[in-house]
Structure 1
Amino acid sequence: MELWNRCWAFAKLFLLFLGFLSAGLVKGDCECGYSTNIGGVDGAPKREYVFTDLLETNFLRLNDISANTDWQRQEFNISKDAARGDYGEMFLPAGIEASPAGAKSGDGDDSGLKLVVRSGLVDGMVPVAEIDSYRPDLSFGSFRASMKMTDIPGTCAAFFWYFNDTQEIDMEFLSREFNSSNSTYPVNLVLQSRASLATHDASSTGYFIKANLPFNPTTDFHEYRIDYIHGQVFFYADGAVLAQMNGSAVPTSPGHLVLQHWSNGNALWSGGPPARDAVLTVEYVKAYFNSSLSQRAQDWRGRCRDPYAENAVCDIPSFDGKNSSVRDWFFSGHGNMTNNQTVSNENSGSSLVRRGELVTVMGGFFLASGWVTGLW
């Protein structure tokens, strides 16, 4: 009888465990994707778009960029001739500095990921910095970065989506163009194309817009955003649309994200080098997108059983420059909102898909079952 009671207790515990596992880990929120409204330009209505995958990095929590599995520091040289400047460009991992909140270190006073352009030349090249997303399968999506620009003239800071030199979506900030005396703070919005590659000048292709920001980008962090959908690209600053582009230059292939800070002395673009070391600081990157990989599409079909179920699709919070709580919001920082997503682990700046939580729960279950059955 005692053995029967123990076995019955074990069975009930096992059923309870399965119920918890099903409710808390298998059926999570956002399993059908992440939604945002896009459009609303020139009287056109906004439309809701749902994206299946995410890539989120909170650089304020990042201790070691080299251990992060979402981003890769770049190391390569561009000659003076290839760069079309007075100097070459030397991209170095040393130009990427992680400075988490509460532990300010390295160049500049702000916390976050720092991309540094050095003032001193090395072998006729300017030491500069670039970091790329590991994933190359970013198709249509909404891509956002919170950044603070340098106020030192002579650099180009860039946040862009890239497949190749003819399929590229750019937001580029030239620090030499910032003018506090008349509150002029331009951002250069570009779709690179075959035409721009042929002339190395996108300004005459019809896919170049110089938009003025309604704030000084060197005094605080602001969110810059690219929405890329079929046949259209929208550019934003703090949630407000800066420009829309469509046509043949809109990319048709998947790509990856790039954060870049560089200078080569070209007086028509970056200018420089800067008189002293210049720092671009990145607070976060939040990317919500559809993957071009067939396996990721299969994964989505497997987890999204009912797109109309409660919380099956989660709204992406929009930042308007004032609601600071949105800056601190990451789906990957909340339990059960990133099931089956491939994001870096917590020690590297964002949260994992809760695999560790599953191990902990299962370990607790087997400890309890061992006690019930008298194994220990």
Structure 2
Amino acid sequence: MRFTLLAASLFTAGDVLAQRSPAAAAINGGAGGYVVDGQYRFNQRQFWDFSKINVGGSTNLPAGQRVPTGLKASDFPVDSYVYTPANVIIARGYLHLKVNANTFISGEVTTNFKISYASVRAVAMLSEPAGVCNGMFFYQSDTQETDIEFLSNRNSASNTDAASDAGAPAGTRYLWLSNQAASKRKQKTTRPVPLPANPTSSLHEYRLDLVPGMTRFFIDGKQVWNSTDNVPTVAGVWVFNNWADPDPAWSAGPPKQDAYFRIRSIDMYYS
């Protein structure tokens, strides 16, 4: 019991003693690249720890800079919703991506550099108010995309259909893992998988590896799926977003309260 109480005291609200993926092996201190899982080699690493970034405090960003170097806040409309830099906020140890209550005003960041292959690990807390989609994914185009996504609305047709197919209780939500269709003649490759414990109140690691010919998906360091179909082959950017639209089959928004997707850190090995 004493160990349990001591361990609990070392973690802030929302942190858990969850498993994480092992760090990549650095070759010559990183100068020669990084090797993930003993087999996948990447040239570069970027690590953003938002618990150590305070826009107005001790670890300052440059004046007028909303996100750290290597990331940029999106500012454009997409169909029925819109991304605005005002909904990208670093505060209280997190990168907050916000969707405003009763609107489709959303938040997104992307890398400002292109990526061909990567192993990307985000430690994050998913959104609770029904009606949003949290995304962590690679994107070059609608036919060159691989995703980790969470739909907060239990009544989204995607969640209800997946629960029915699995014989799960009504209201079960899932983490959606997908490679989007690589051409109009193909169907996307997708798999709904169970969420980790308390995903909207505890931090978990969500990892996506894009390697030649394969995508690999992990939760808290454990591989939960992989796919060799519809794997992207063209360099693009990595995206983290929180958005809403009225589509009853997907986000089924908008949320009735402000919805925040909270990201503690992003660790990215890439080429």
Band of TM-score, shorter chain: 0.7 to 0.9
Q: Give the whole-Å Cα distance in 2 for the aligned partners of 1:215 and 1:120.
A: 28
Query: Which structure dedicates a bigger proportion of its chain to strand?
Result: 2
Q: Give the whole-Å Cα distance in 2 for the aligned partners of 1:240 and 1:61.
A: 27
**1:259 and 2:240 equivalent?**
yes
**1:272 and 2:253 equivalent?**
yes
**What are the equivalent positions in structure 2 for 1:67-216 lying under 5 Å apart?**
68-78=68-78, 83=79, 88-99=80-91, 104=92, 111-121=93-103, 126-136=104-114, 138-177=115-154, 184-195=172-183, 198=184, 205=187, 207-216=189-198
Superposed CA offset, 1:172-198 (max 9, x none): 10001389x879341111111244xx4
Q: TM-score if structure 1 supplies the norm length?
A: 0.56
Letter in 1 for 2:49: N
Unaligned runs of 5+ in 2: 1-26, 56-64, 164-168
Contact (CA 8 Å) 2:128, 2:200: kept in 1 or not?
yes
Deviation, 1:50, is 2.1
Count of paired positions: 225
Letter in 1 for 2:120: F
**1:228 and 2:203 equivalent?**
no
Deviation, 1:28, is 5.8
Instruction: Give percent identity, aligned residues only.
Output: 28
Superposed CA offset, 1:324-343 (max 9, x none): xxxxxxxxxxxxxxxxxxxx
Q: 1:135 to 1:264 in 2, by over 3 A?
A: same
Deviation, 1:154, is 0.5
RMSD: 2.4
Q: 1:185 to 1:215 in 2, by over 3 A?
A: farther
Q: 1:206 to 1:132 in 2, by over 3 A?
A: closer
Unaligned runs of 5+ in 1: 1-26, 38-46, 105-110, 291-376
Superposed CA offset, 1:88-145 (max 9, x none): 212110101111xxxx3xxxxxx30000101133xxxx11111111111x12221111
Contact (CA 8 Å) 2:66, 2:89: kept in 1 or not?
no
Larger Rg: 1
**1:48 and 2:26 equivalent?**
no
Contact (CA 8 Å) 2:181, 2:188: kept in 1 or not?
no
Contact (CA 8 Å) 2:153, 2:251: kept in 1 or not?
yes
Contact (CA 8 Å) 2:149, 2:177: kept in 1 or not?
yes
Q: Give the whole-Å Cα distance in 1 for the aligned partners of 2:196 and 2:28.
A: 40
Query: Which structure dedicates a bigger proportion of its chain to helix?
Result: 1
Superposed CA offset, 1:354-373 (max 9, x none): xxxxxxxxxxxxxxxxxxxx
Could you say what secondary structure the match of 2:208 adopts? strand
Q: Give the whole-Å Cα distance in 2 for the aligned partners of 1:34 and 1:194.
A: 29
